[in-house]
Structure 1
């Protein structure tokens, strides 16, 4: 993985924490959330405040995400909104955190100028002991406060101020006045500088989770189903009409078609379909050639064409199917009959333009794993897992390709691949106002995304 880190393809865009003041604030929040502290003087954090260096020190990759539910977070700066989320166990977690930061950016900027803000993504499930429990997750609420409870204190003061303004005898209530003065010493003048965070809850019907070998749940579609990436001998117990395993290709293809979730690349408007398909073919050639011990350092498209000729007999059906499709797109050749049983089928699809396009593209990347670019863009955890098992020659080629062909223009590459795709769709916030909640300090003892 060192090569990926050096090229900024792993742990990229993390926020450095180098100031003793920020380290001290981080430790206060970490202590409040987990009972632990770090002895490190410098480290990096993701959007949730999780640090790979601290995780290594504590020997716990999930120290802010115990059992993978009710994720806890630590905010030292609003700049964390652009950072990735490491070791995500649910697809919606990063989107929720980013929306929370953006919706409260001014308030968080003021709060983090004096203290760390910490909290949880709270739902009603605290442990996933069975797959059925996944389907109890529907609404996630963000709870947050500073380590000294400034937001909760300000909320209490606001309540006292409202009483003082509305109760007839409040001017003569010495206890009430004394309470307001005591709280105001901690918060300052909240009438001029409000210390509050917008209460936010999110409904997520469709999501991916890393639990139980990886599972995609699509509940908010016309024909609901779950797709398991591993064995699903528990499928009969799930409260959803259909559960498909990864190998049930025809069923998955039918599910995507019935719900209008995917479309053939060659039928998509506004993209160079043939160029995309040729690039996928190159990735497959690189996979075969690297397995034969070929040095792919600095390999160009011409080099890969030469290798395709050399190893033509070893190229898999995915390559031949895509080749037939390119021939049809470019030269008007016969339409290739590529059904869902053909290994190339999912390589020729992309998500349609709908709110869960990113989730569908992630699913398709797992069903077409030799397309290393889509796998890296849409499902980094699966990419890193696959990368660890590749031969050295393929690792070197892939790292170099991604650093030179993708990282230099991420937005442009995504637009060229997916066309209509806008920035990743975020979970939907509930339209109703929520009852104001206290800070998370009574809730953080609950384990947990």
Structure 2
């Protein structure tokens, strides 16, 4: 993983902590949440305050997420809101934390000037011993305060001020006045600079979780389903599909209107996208043949394709036929959901769960390493560890050259405009009426999935 770290592809954009004052604040928060402290004099933290260096020091990568269910967090600075989230167990956690921090940016800026803010992403489930427990997670509530309890004290002080103003004998109540003065010493003048960090609750109908080998839970769709990475006894959780059941997944995605063909996606360079996917497949072929990839250009990869001839993978040949049609030099190819190229030809439609669907597609089309890196880093890092050094070098160099230089531009080109961060807007989109379908939506890019199955 050293190569990824050096190129900023792993542990990138973390917040560095070197100030003795901030380290002491972090230790106070860490001790408050876990009963532990760090002896490190410098480390890095993610959006939740998790530090890989401290995790290594404590021998516990889940020291802020012990049950893998209700993630705790430490905020030292509002700069954390743009940092990644490491050791992800729920795909929604980073988005929830970022929305909380953006909604309370001014308050957090003021509070972190004097103390660390600590809290938890809490829900009604405290353990996930069985898959059925995951379906009990309906919403997540963010609760937070400084270690010194400034938010709670500010609330108490506001209540006392109301009593002082409204009770006829309030100005003569020495105990009340003494309590107000004592609290004001800790909170400051809350009448001029109010301190509030209200609880925020987020609906969580659809999400990915790392539990039980990796599960995609879709409850907010017309046909709810759980998609499991590997076959497992999930109990009575409704419709369950495994990744190996490609026809069922394709049919389910189509029925729920979650995907669109890249060849008809608005504003996409579909030809360039297909070529890049074909290159990634050739990289895997070259690696299997133990060929030196180095900084292989598209011409170098094309020579490999010429050498392979009819021995090229079906996924490559299917995308080549589709590319020929896009460029006007071939007939319309018929690629069913059983074809290895099928899921490489799709992307998520614009909707609130776009990133989750693209995450699922990256697992169904694993040779597209760029999409996997962007949408499913946990899977990317696990896959990277199994590759040869040849493939690791090529992929790391490609991502550093083609993605790192313009992340936002690359994501927009691949997946379209980003969904809004505002949760209310996302919820509203979930309830928008489905747009009138086009003919290609009704029959699919190469015929209806159901028709193909018959």
Same fold (TM over 0.5): yes
Structure 2 matches for 1:92-131, cutoff 5 A?
A: 92-131=92-131
The alignment status of 1:24 with 2:21, answered yes or no, reads no
Task: Please state how far the C-alpha of 1:200 moved relative to its aligned partner.
Answer: 1.1
2:91 alignment partner, SS class: coil
CA-to-aligned-CA distance 1:119-148 (integer Å, 9 cap, x gap): 101111111010000011111111111111
Structure 2 matches for 1:241-260, cutoff 5 A?
A: 242-260=239-257
**Using the alignment, how far apart are the partners of 1:416 and 1:185 within structure 2?**
53
Task: Please state how far the C-alpha of 1:174 moved relative to its aligned partner.
Answer: 2.3
Task: Please state how far the C-alpha of 1:151 moved relative to its aligned partner.
Answer: 0.8
**Using the alignment, how far apart are the partners of 1:30 and 1:426 within structure 2?**
30
**Using the alignment, how far apart are the partners of 1:22 and 1:90 within structure 2?**
28
Q: Which residue of 2 aligns with 1:76?
A: 76
Q: Which residue of 2 aligns with 1:5?
A: 5
| Residues 426/138 of structure 1: CA separation in 2 closer, same or farther (3 Å cut) | farther
CA-to-aligned-CA distance 1:332-383 (integer Å, 9 cap, x gap): 4222111111111111000011111111000100110000000000001100
**2:413 alignment partner, one of 413, 416, 423:** 416
The runs of at least 4 aligned residues of structure 1 exceeding 3 Å deviation read 423-431
2:8 alignment partner, SS class: coil
**Using the alignment, how far apart are the partners of 1:423 and 1:223 within structure 2?**
22
**2:351 alignment partner, one of 326, 336, 354:** 354
**2:391 alignment partner, one of 394, 397, 407:** 394
Task: Please state how far the C-alpha of 1:426 moved relative to its aligned partner.
Answer: 6.0
Q: Which residue of 1 aligns with 2:435?
A: none
**2:403 alignment partner, one of 399, 402, 406:** 406
**1:296 alignment partner, one of 293, 296, 300:** 293
**Using the alignment, how far apart are the partners of 1:385 and 1:377 within structure 2?**
14
2:135 alignment partner, SS class: helix
Q: Which residue of 2 aligns with 1:237?
A: 236
**Using the alignment, how far apart are the partners of 1:404 and 1:430 within structure 2?**
33
Larger RCO: 1 or 2 (CA < 8 Å, sep 6+) = 1
Q: Which residue of 2 aligns with 1:194?
A: 194
**Using the alignment, how far apart are the partners of 1:94 and 1:392 within structure 2?**
31
Task: Please state how far the C-alpha of 1:63 moved relative to its aligned partner.
Answer: 0.6
Q: Which residue of 1 aligns with 2:360?
A: 363
TM-score normalised to structure 2 length = 0.91
2:16 alignment partner, SS class: strand
Task: Please state how far the C-alpha of 1:226 moved relative to its aligned partner.
Answer: 1.1
Q: Which residue of 2 aligns with 1:147?
A: 147
The alignment status of 1:277 with 2:274, answered yes or no, reads yes
**Using the alignment, how far apart are the partners of 1:304 and 1:352 within structure 2?**
31
CA-to-aligned-CA distance 1:55-92 (integer Å, 9 cap, x gap): 00011111101121110000110000000000111011
In 1, are the aligned partners of 2:75 and 2:116 still within 8 Å (CA)? yes
In 2, are the aligned partners of 1:201 and 1:430 still within 8 Å (CA)? no
**Using the alignment, how far apart are the partners of 1:424 and 1:395 within structure 2?**
34
1:140 alignment partner, SS class: strand
The alignment status of 1:329 with 2:326, answered yes or no, reads yes
Task: Please state how far the C-alpha of 1:424 moved relative to its aligned partner.
Answer: 6.6
Query: Tell me, which stretches of 5 or more residues in structure 1 are unaligned?
Result: 432-449
**Using the alignment, how far apart are the partners of 1:222 and 1:364 within structure 2?**
19
The alignment status of 1:158 with 2:133, answered yes or no, reads no
Q: Which residue of 2 aligns with 1:223?
A: 223
**Using the alignment, how far apart are the partners of 1:11 and 1:93 within structure 2?**
17
The alignment status of 1:383 with 2:396, answered yes or no, reads no
| Residues 430/416 of structure 1: CA separation in 2 closer, same or farther (3 Å cut) | closer
Task: Please state how far the C-alpha of 1:173 moved relative to its aligned partner.
Answer: 2.4
2:351 alignment partner, SS class: coil
CA-to-aligned-CA distance 1:412-449 (integer Å, 9 cap, x gap): 11121123x31575655999xxxxxxxxxxxxxxxxxx
In 2, are the aligned partners of 1:202 and 1:428 still within 8 Å (CA)? no
Query: Tell me, which stretches of 5 or more residues in structure 2 are unaligned?
Result: 428-454
Q: Which residue of 2 aligns with 1:42?
A: 42
Q: Which residue of 2 aligns with 1:440?
A: none
In 2, are the aligned partners of 1:358 and 1:424 still within 8 Å (CA)? no
Q: Which residue of 2 aligns with 1:265?
A: 262
| Residues 429/51 of structure 1: CA separation in 2 closer, same or farther (3 Å cut) | farther
2:61 alignment partner, SS class: coil
CA RMSD of aligned residues (A): 1.5
In 2, are the aligned partners of 1:154 and 1:196 still within 8 Å (CA)? yes
